[in-house]
Structure 1
Amino acid sequence: MNETKFCINCGKEIPENATFCSFCGADQKTAATAETQTDGNTTTGKQSTPPEHDNMWTALKLGMKQTFTWSQRITRPQYWWLYLDLMLIALILTFTLGLKVYSFPAFAAHVNVLQAVLLLIYSALMCWISVMQFTAGARRLHDSNRSAHYLWFSLIPIVGPILIIVFMCQRSKPAGERFDRFASQPKPWTHKWWTWCLLVLFTLLYAGSVNIIARDNAVDSALTTTSNSDSTSDSDDSYADSDSYDDSDSDSTDTDSDTDSDTDSESDSSSDTDSITVGDDDIDISDQKTYNTSYSDSSWTGSTFKIDKVTVYKTDGAYTIGSGSDKRDFNGVVKVHMSIHAGRDISAYPTQAKLSTNDGQQVDADMDSDDFDGDLNSGTDTDGNLYFELSKLSSVKDITSIRLKWDASYDTDDYDDDNDFKTYDATLNLN
C-alpha cells in the first residue's frame, strides 16, 4: 500500500516520496528541511519543556493573547475550553451589567453619565470576547485544514450554524499547518494601533444598538398595560361614580322645582372621591363635572352603540403621560362611558377613538381605557370607560361639547357588500 502525505502548501494528498506537489508545484523537500532545521534549533537552543495541559485557564490565556491572530491554528480541546470560558464570561456580564444597560437608555432626553459609563464598559467587554471567539473559530478551521471562509456558512439559517459546529468538532489535520504564518518578530496585538481602533469602533456600534433597544424597551414599558386587574378597578370606579350621580340627581329632583329640570343632566361639581385611577396611575382631582347624554346609534348591522355619561375632570396639578417623543403633560381628563350591543359578529374599536373638544384640542384614547371592545360575537352586550387626557384645561366648565370618532367592521366574502366597514362620528353637547 502506497504511503501518502499532505502538501505543505495546498494540503492535497500526495505520495510520501514526492518532492514537488503535483497540484500546486510547491517544493516539499525544501519545506521539510526548513521544518527539520527549526526543530533542531529549538532543541539545542533551550531545554525542552513539557506542553501545558489544556484547560479553561490555558485556553483563556491563549485566546487573550491571540485575540487578533488570524493565520494560525488552535486545537480542538483549546477551542472548546475557550468557548466555555467566553460563554461563562458573557453570562456574568449579562447578569451584572446587561440587565442594567438594557433597562434604560443612557442617551435619552438627557445624558445619564453613570448609565453611559456602564454601557461603554459592557459594550467594550462584549466586543472583545466576540472578536476573540470569531478569530478562534477561524484558527480552529485552519487546524482541520479548512479556510476561514467556511465561517460564511453561519449566515445560512438553521443549517449554517449546525455545519459550523460540525466543522469545529473535526480532528486536527497535519495539512492544516499550511495556514501557519509566523512573523519574524511577532508584536502583541496590544501594541498595535489598528487593533485598538477596531475595538473602539466595534464598541461604539454595539453601544449604539444597545441604547436603541433600551430606549424601545422603556417606551414599551411606559405604554403597555401591566395588569388586567387595573381595568377591573377602573370599571368599579365608574360604577361608583354612576351610583353617586344617581343619588345626587334623585335628591335634587325631590327638592327642586320643575323649572330646575336642566340640572338633571349634570351633577354637582363636588365629589366624594378626590382621585381617579387610569391604568396603574392614581390621578388627584381638584374639580369634576358629570353630564348625562342620550347618544344612541343602531343604524349599522343591528348593532347599538350608546354613550350615556361623560365626566370632565380637572387634575390637581400637571401629570405626565408617555415616554420619549410621545411624552406630554396634561391637566384634564374626559371620561366617556359607552355600551355596545352586537347585532352580528363585529369588530369594534372605540378604545382607539379620537376625541376633539370645542376649544380645539384633539387627543387619542388612553391605552389604559377599559378593555371592552375588539371582536364581539352576535348578541354580546359590553360596556366600559374611555379616557382622554387634555393638555389644557382651565376649568371643567370650559368643555361644552365633544366629538368622538371610532371604527367598526365585520368579515364578509361578498365583494359587493359596501356596508362591512363603518366610521362612527358622534357629537355630544354637554349642558
Structure 2
Amino acid sequence: MSETKYCINCGKEIPVDATFCPFCGATQGKATSAKAQSTSAPEQNNEPNQPEHVNMWTALKLGMRQTFTWSQRITRPQYWWLYLDLVLITLILTIVFGFKVYSYPAFILDPFHVNALQTVLLLVYSALMSWISVMQFTASARRLHDSNRSAHYLWFSLIPLVGPILIIVFLCQRSKAAGERFDRSTSQPKHWTHKWWTWCLLVLFTLAYAALVNVTARENAIDSALTTTSKSATTSSDDSYSDSDSEEASDSDSEDSESDSESDSDSDSITIGDDDIDIADQQAYTASFTDSSWAGSTFKIDKVTVYKTDGTYTSGSGSDKQDFNGIVKVHMSIHAGRDISAYPTQAKLSTNDGQQVDADADSDDFDGDLNSGTDSDGNLYFILPKLSSVKNITSVRLKWDASYDTDDYDDDNDFKTFDATLNLN
C-alpha cells in the first residue's frame, strides 16, 4: 500500500510525494507520510494541547492562555471542561454584578448623568463577560479544527434553531489526525497579553458590551417607572371610583327616601317559582314594621312592592285554578330569640280594595322551625285576582302565626298571631 500524507490546506489524504494537492491545488511542503506526520507531531508541538489529566482547572488555564489563539486545536475533553468553567463563571458574575448593572443605567446622555459606582461595576462586568465570550468563541474554533473542520462552520450558528444544534454536533465529534493542518504556530509565539492588538480588541468588545447593557438597563428602568406610575394611577382611580360610587349611593338613598312610591323600572319581569311573569307596572314602598314583643324574637317588614302584570296569568289547577293580574311582594326578616316555629309563608293578606288572599306556595322558604339566635329572611308573594292600577293599593294587612314548645302549662304566650297593617304611601 502506497504511503500518503494529509494536505496542509484541505486535510485530505494525498500521495506522499505530491507537490500540489489534487483536490484543492494547495502547494505542499516537504514530503512526509501520514504515519510520519502523526509520530513527529508531538516533537513539533503539533498535537492539540492535552495534559495527562484533563480537569476543570487545566482546561481553564489552557483557555485563558489561548484566549486569542485561532490556528490551534483543543481536544473534546478540554473543550467541554472549559465550557463548564465558563458557564459557572458567567453564573457567578451574573449574581454578583449582573442584577445590579441591569437594574439601572450607569450613564444617561440626555440629560447627561453619570453614576460613578454603577459605571465601574458596568465596565468590570462588561470586560469579564467580553473576555469570556472571546475565550468561548476561539475555543469553539479550535475544537472544530481538532475534528478537521474549518472555523467557518461557526456561521451555521446564524441559522435559527437548526444552526446551534449542528454546531453542538460538530463540537462533540472525535479528534482527527488530519486536523493537524490547522497547527500553524510559530516556534515561540508571543502570549496574547504581550500583543497590543488583542488589548485593543478587548477594549472595543468591552465598550460595545457595556453600551448594550446600559441601553437594556435604561429600558428596564423606564418600564419599572411606568409600571409603578400605572399602579399608582390605578389605585388613585379606584379610590376616585369608590368615592364616586359612595356619593351616587348616597344620592340614590336620598331620592328613595324622598319618594318611596316612585315606580321601579329596573326589571320588566319577576320569577315566582318556575314561572317568569312579565310586568307592565310596579310600585315599591318602604315599610317600617317591627314587632319584638314575643319570645324575645323580632319580626320585621321593610319593603312592599305592588306589581301589575302584562296581561292575565293563571295560577293553580283544578278547583284552585284562578286568573290574576296583580302581585304583592312583601320582604320579611326574622330573628329568633329562642327556639320557635314561625309560618309567614302561610300568612293571609287583605288589601284596602277588599281582596283577601293566601301567600303563594312559591314564596321563599325561610320560615318553619328556627333555632335560637338564628336570622332568616325572604319574600312572600300574594296573587291578586283583580288589579286595575298599582296605585289603587294604598294599604295591606298581614296575619301569620308563630309558636314555641314549653312544658309550662301556665305559659299562655307560647302561641301568637301576628297582625300587621302597612300603609303604602
Return the TM-score normalized by structure 2: 0.51
Spell out the pairing of 1:303-318 with structure 2 (5 A cutoff). none
Cα displacement (A) at 1:54: 0.9
- The structure 2 residue matched to 1:26, chosen from 28, 53, 57, is 28
- Is the Cα contact below 8 Å between 2:5 and 2:33 reproduced in 1? no
Cα displacement (A) at 1:131: 0.2
* Secondary structure of residue in 2 paired with 1:103: coil
- The structure 2 residue matched to 1:221, chosen from 224, 239, 245, is 224
Counterpart amino acid of residue 170 in structure 2: F
Note if 1:182 corresponds to 2:185: yes
Spell out the pairing of 1:258-407 with structure 2 (5 A cutoff). none
1:194/1:228 CA distance change after superposition, 3 Å: closer
* Secondary structure of residue in 1 paired with 2:31: helix
Note if 1:58 corresponds to 2:58: yes
1:106/1:232 CA distance change after superposition, 3 Å: closer
Cα displacement (A) at 1:184: 2.5
- The structure 2 residue matched to 1:133, chosen from 128, 131, 136, is 136
Cα displacement (A) at 1:241: 4.9
Distance 2:196 2:126 in 1: 20
What's the counterpart of residue 10 of structure 1?
Answer: 10
Note if 1:68 corresponds to 2:97: no
For structure 1, list consecutive stretches of 5 or more residues without a partner in the other structure.
43-49, 252-431
After superposition, the C-alpha distances for 1:294-329 in whole angstroms (9 at most, x for unaligned) are xxxxxxxxxxxxxxxxxxxxxxxxxxxxxxxxxxxx
- Is the Cα contact below 8 Å between 1:74 and 1:136 reproduced in 2? yes
- Is the Cα contact below 8 Å between 2:5 and 2:32 reproduced in 1? no
Distance 1:228 1:36 in 2: 73
1:226/1:167 CA distance change after superposition, 3 Å: farther
- The structure 2 residue matched to 1:143, chosen from 140, 143, 146, is 146
Cα displacement (A) at 1:90: 0.8
After superposition, the C-alpha distances for 1:147-188 in whole angstroms (9 at most, x for unaligned) are 111111111111111111111011111111011011132111
Counterpart amino acid of residue 98 in structure 2: G
Cα displacement (A) at 1:226: 8.5
- Is the Cα contact below 8 Å between 1:73 and 1:140 reproduced in 2? yes
* Secondary structure of residue in 1 paired with 2:138: helix
Distance 1:6 1:148 in 2: 18
Spell out the pairing of 1:202-221 with structure 2 (5 A cutoff). 202-221=205-224
- Is the Cα contact below 8 Å between 1:19 and 1:27 reproduced in 2? no
Cα displacement (A) at 1:247: 6.2
- Is the Cα contact below 8 Å between 2:3 and 2:33 reproduced in 1? no
Cα displacement (A) at 1:242: 5.3
1:219/1:22 CA distance change after superposition, 3 Å: closer
Distance 1:147 1:41 in 2: 22
What's the counterpart of residue 126 of structure 2?
Answer: 123
Cα displacement (A) at 1:225: 5.7
Return the TM-score normalized by structure 1: 0.50
Distance 1:84 1:199 in 2: 22
What's the counterpart of residue 155 of structure 2?
Answer: 152
Cα displacement (A) at 1:70: 0.4
Q: Share of identical aligned residues, percent? A: 69
1:196/1:243 CA distance change after superposition, 3 Å: same
Note if 1:165 corresponds to 2:171: no
For structure 2, list consecutive stretches of 5 or more residues without a partner in the other structure.
255-425
Counterpart amino acid of residue 118 in structure 1: L
Counterpart amino acid of residue 31 in structure 2: K
What's the counterpart of residue 373 of structure 1?
Answer: none
Cα displacement (A) at 1:69: 0.3
1:34/1:142 CA distance change after superposition, 3 Å: closer
- Is the Cα contact below 8 Å between 1:59 and 1:81 reproduced in 2? yes
1:63/1:14 CA distance change after superposition, 3 Å: same
Counterpart amino acid of residue 185 in structure 1: Q
CA RMSD of aligned residues (A): 3.4
- Is the Cα contact below 8 Å between 2:4 and 2:33 reproduced in 1? no
After superposition, the C-alpha distances for 1:18-69 in whole angstroms (9 at most, x for unaligned) are 5556524524525877887776699xxxxxxx94311111100000000000
* Secondary structure of residue in 1 paired with 2:68: coil
Distance 1:90 1:218 in 2: 23
